[in-house]
Each structure stands twice: as structure tokens, then as C-alpha cells.
Chains A and B, each alone.
Chain A
Amino acid sequence: MPVKKSNLVFLCFLLISLLVFPLSWSAAAMGPEAQLKLSVDKLLTVLNDKQLQGPEKTELRRQKVAEVAFSQFNMTRMAKLCLGRGWRKLTPEQRQEFTRLFKRMLAKTYVSTIDDYSGQKVVFTREIINKDRAEVRSKIVSDDKEIPINYRMKLEGDRWLIYDVIIENVSLVRNYRSQFAPLMQKKGYDGLIEQMKKRIKEIESGEKKNNG
């Protein structure tokens, strides 16, 4: 008899597990830090890929890097936070346009940094989770310096997505917000977009100068 009873308990456990786990595990299967670690590994695979090396492959390499990196971001949320409350007054089309340009500006600015990669290590130091928000702390370690980089993430569906990057205690969102807000006030949405387009062009012509 006692054997059967424990069997019953086990059965109940199994049943409840089946009911509960698919729901909860889908959300908690991978923590934010584990998820970022995975994409860092993916980036390293791209960088170490023999077929992607050499200056003539630069564009393709950057493209792959951008693909992996941006898959970890919620660009709409990030763009929204950077713009601040002015976001509310924008039409859906304007929001899309702004997000697209903002992403492009970030890509143009930061993706090329990967070309300077020379064996620096990414060390994850801490993970703080508060309900659907998380902060993952990491360091980029090279021979002569360490750069602390923290990621603010939000759980969306079953994935944690970055909405702010804090480099050496400086939040990207707060920094962009300090620039975007006065521009929006002074020149309006159209002026802001124009300036962003201008900046992207400047970065692109700088790239050409460096390559040629």
C-alpha cells in the first residue's frame, strides 16, 4: 500500500509539472546572462571564421556581427526611451522611421568597432533579475585595461532583450535622450530626422576615406 501512495504523489507531481512547466519554463529556460553569453560565443564564431577574414570580407563580417548583436536588442524600446516623451506624439510611421534611422546610426557607429577585435575577453560578473527586468554586468578585459559594460534587459515573451547599454557607468539611453530632447524641441521631428540622416552620411563618407 505505501508504495502505491508514493506512486500517487509522484503521479500528481508529474501531472502538475506537465501543466506548470511548459508555461513557466518557456519564460525562464534561459537567464539573461546565459543568453548574452551564447550570443558572445556566436560573435566569436563569426570573428574566428576563416572564410570571413581579410579586408575584402569586412562588409560581410560586419553584417553578420550586426545580425547577431541586434538580435539581442529591442530596438523599438531603445529608440523610444532615447527619444523620451516626444515619442507619444509620433505617428506609427514616424516611430518606425525613427527606429530604423536610430538603429542604422548605432550600427554605423558601433559595429565597425569589432574590426579592432584582438583577443579581448568578455567576462560576465553579475546578473540581477527583478521580475521582468534584468541587469547583466560584464567587463571587456584586454591587456592594459578593463571596460565595464552593463546591459539592461526586459523579458519579452521567452527572450530577454536589451534596451540600454551602460558603458563605464554612462547609459547610452540617457546620453541620447539628452541630445534628442533639445533637438526635438528646437527643430521638431523633421529637423531631428534630417540631422540623423546627415550624421549617418558623414560616418559613411568617413568609412570610405578610411578604406580608400
Chain B
Amino acid sequence: MIKRFCLVVFLLCTFCWSVTLVRPGMTIAADSAVADEDDFAEYDNKIIPVNDPLESFNRVIFTFNDRLHIWVLEPTAKVYSKAVPSLFRTGIRNFFSNLMEPARFLNCLLQGRFSEAHDVFLRFLLNSTAGVLGIMDPATYDGMKTHDRRFASTLSNYGAGRGPYLVLPFFGPSDIRGFFGLVGDTLTNPVFWTLRDEPLAAVAVQGGKAVNRTSFHLGEYQRLLSGTLDPYIAIRNVYRQSEQ
């Protein structure tokens, strides 16, 4: 009796299971208009409002940045990456990133992320000492996480909206909040304070940083743009998507 009961239960289970398994294949046979609707719906609710009243101004700056990247930055970075070994370039990247840790610490505190602030503090301590002024990154090697909290995210934390899209000369895609974030980041950057009386040196350091950064992403910008029909819209969309 029990065995028969088990058998019935088993049969029932198998039947249910088979029905759920077969189902995915069946939806394909469904009316194609309905399927269309489903497909579009998946993307409809993800359409991001454009909010770009300054488009014509932005397009001018975009073209400027674009030419600067393709004519100056990329060729320089290409030569530089051949002349300077990757290990050395990574060291430079680490050094500048480490200098921003105090600012990250401050932003973590302002955002009430105390455990992240703790992480950032320990990273800074370890990398500045054992990592020789931040050139090496033993903290990441030890599995300590980075928390790249910038001033823009602090502003967002206090309720500041994104504001219209804004293309900044040299810095690229941003928005009004991003602009004020950049001002905040600059004011908390020790490089800025060290070189505030020597604007030429400051520009040189910024340029060097940009070349160093680009050397890790050679050809990526051109590749990204080659498959686009409207580079300006494509980049704006990439910015909006990755900021979400």
C-alpha cells in the first residue's frame, strides 16, 4: 500500500517536473507579436532619460576631447608604453591612486560607511609603508578591498541630483554633480596642494597621469567608437549606463 502510494507520488512529481522543464521550449511557439512585446519590454523600462540641454555645447567639447585623445594622448601613450615597462607604469598608477586614499577615507566617513573607511585607512597605512610610498600595492595582494568613494558619490549621498549631462574639457563625460565632485576631489588631492604655486608642473603631472592611464587602455577608445553611428550619443549612453 505504502509502495503504491510512493509510486503515485513519484509519478506525480515526475509529471510536474517534466511539465516545468518542457515549458521553456514551448514559449518559442507562442505568438510572435506577444514575444516581441516581451522582448521590447525588457529594455523599455531601462531607457534612461537623456537630460542633455547643453548638447550643442557638449558636442563642441566632445570633438575637442576626441581630437586631443586621438592626435595627442594615444600616440604619446603608445610610444610611452613601448619605452616604459608595464611594472613601472603600474607603479606610477599605484602611487597616484594611493595619494587619493585620504580623500577616499574622508568621503567614506562623510557617507557614514565606517567599515569602508576602516579598510581604506588600513590600505593607506600598509601601502604607504610596506608598499614604498604606494608604488606597490601589497594591500590588494593581501585581499584588502578598495572603496573608490569620490566626492561626487558623497554629494549623491546627501541628495544632490545628477543634473544635466556635461562634457568637461580634458576630463570627458560628466554631469553637473560630477563637476562639483571633481572640484571636491581636486581640493582633497595632495598633488594639488603640493603644486598649487606651480601651475605648469601641475599641468605636466596631470598630463603624465593621463598618458600613464591611457597606456593601459591603448586602442580601446578607437575600438569603442569604430562600431558606433553617433559617437557622441554612444559615449553619453556608456556614461549614463555605467553611472547607474
Asked if B223 and A109 make an inter-chain contact with CB atoms under 8 angstroms apart, the answer reads yes
When A20-B14, A132-B24, A157-B28 are in contact, do A168 and B242 touch as well, CB less than 8 Å?
Answer: yes
A12/B7 contact (C-beta < 8 A), A81-B43, A177-B43, A183-B229 known: yes
Beyond A145-B216, A157-B25, A179-B229, whether A174 also contacts B237 by CB under 8 A is: yes
Give chain A residues whose Cβ lies under 8 Å from the Cβ of B27: 131-132
CB of B149, distance to nearest CB on chain A (Å)? 18
Is A80's beta carbon under 8 Å from chain B?
Answer: yes
Stretch of A35-43, A53-61, A195-203 at the chain-chain interface? A195-203
From A107, which residue of chain B is reached at the shortest CB distance? B227
Encode contact with B along A136-163: 1 for CB under 8 Å, 0 otherwise.
0000000111000000000111100001
Does B204 touch A at the CB level, under 8 Å? Answer: no
**Cβ contact within 8 Å between A169 and B242:** yes
Cβ-based interface call for A64 (8 A): no
Other 7 A-B pairs with CB < 8 A, given A109-B227, A155-B25, A170-B242: A9-B10, A81-B42, A81-B43, A144-B86, A174-B43, A174-B46, A179-B230
Give residues of chain B (198-221) contacting chain A, Cβ–Cβ below 8 Å: 216, 219
Q: Is A52's beta carbon under 8 Å from chain B? A: no
User: Is B228 touching A28 in the complex (CB atoms < 8 A)?
Assistant: no
Of the A-B pairs whose beta carbons lie under 8 Å apart in the complex, a sample of 27, sorted by A's number, is A5-B3, A9-B7, A12-B7, A20-B14, A20-B17, A20-B18, A23-B21, A24-B18, A27-B21, A28-B21, A84-B43, A88-B36, A108-B226, A132-B24, A132-B27, A132-B28, A157-B25, A157-B28, A158-B25, A171-B241, A173-B43, A174-B237, A175-B241, A179-B230, A195-B229, A199-B228, A203-B227
Interface readout for A4-41 with B: 1 if CB under 8 Å, 0 if not? Answer: 01000100110010001001101110000000000000
Q: Are B233 and A182 in contact (CB under 8 A)?
A: yes
Please report the C-alpha to C-alpha distance between residue A158 and residue B22 in the assembled complex, in whole angstroms: 11
A-chain residues with CB within 8 Å of residue B23 when the two chains form the complex: 131
Partner of B226, one of A116, A168, A195, A203: A203
Q: Cβ of B227: which chain A residues have Cβ within 8 Å of it? A: 105-106, 108-110, 199, 203
* B43-81 residues at the A interface, CB under 8 angstroms: 43, 46-47
Q: Please tell me if A178 contacts chain B, counting CB pairs below 8 Å.
A: yes
Complex Cα–Cα for A192 and B6 (A): 63
A145 to B215, CA, bound (A): 12
Q: Indicate with 1 or 0, residue by residue over A61-83, a CB within 8 angstroms of chain B CB atoms.
A: 00000000000000001001100
CB-based contact A170/B18 at 8 Å: no
- Residues in A with CB closer than 8 Å to B236 are 178
- Whether B234 sits at the interface, judged by CB under 8 Å, is yes
The answer, yes or no, to whether B34 is at the interface (CB within 8 Å) is no
Which chain B positions have C-beta within 8 A of A23? 18, 21-22
Which of chain B's residues 3-47 have a Cβ closer than 8 Å to chain A? 3, 6-7, 10-11, 14, 17-18, 21-25, 27-28, 36, 39-40, 42-43, 46-47
Q: How far apart are B204's CB and chain A's nearest CB, in angstroms?
A: 24
A132 to B216, CA, bound (A): 39
In the bound complex, CA of A88 to CA of B47 (Å): 19
If the complex has contacts A9-B7, A105-B227, are A179 and B233 also in contact, measured as CB distance less than 8 A?
A: yes
Q: Does B153 contact A (CB under 8 A)?
A: no
Given the complex of chains A and B, what is the CA–CA distance between A202 and B226 in angstroms? 8
- Interfacial chain B residues near A16, Cβ < 8 Å: 11, 14
Contact B22 A80 (CB under 8 A): no
Task: Name A143's contact: one of B21, B86, B219, B230 (CB within 8 Å).
Answer: B86
Q: Chain B contacts of A113 at CB under 8 A?
A: 223
Contact status A178-B237, CB under 8 Å: yes
- At the interface, yes or no: A180 with Cβ under 8 Å from chain B? yes
List chain B residues, Cβ under 8 A from A131.
Answer: 23-24, 27
Q: Is the CB of A196 within 8 A of B216?
A: no
CB distance from A96 to the nearest CB of B (A): 15
**Which residues of B lie under 8 Å from residue A12 when comparing CB positions?**
7, 11
The residues of B that contact A92 with a CB separation of less than 8 Å are none
Please tell me if the beta carbons of B25 and A27 are within 8 angstroms of each other in the complex.
yes
A206 adjacent to chain B (CB < 8 Å)? yes
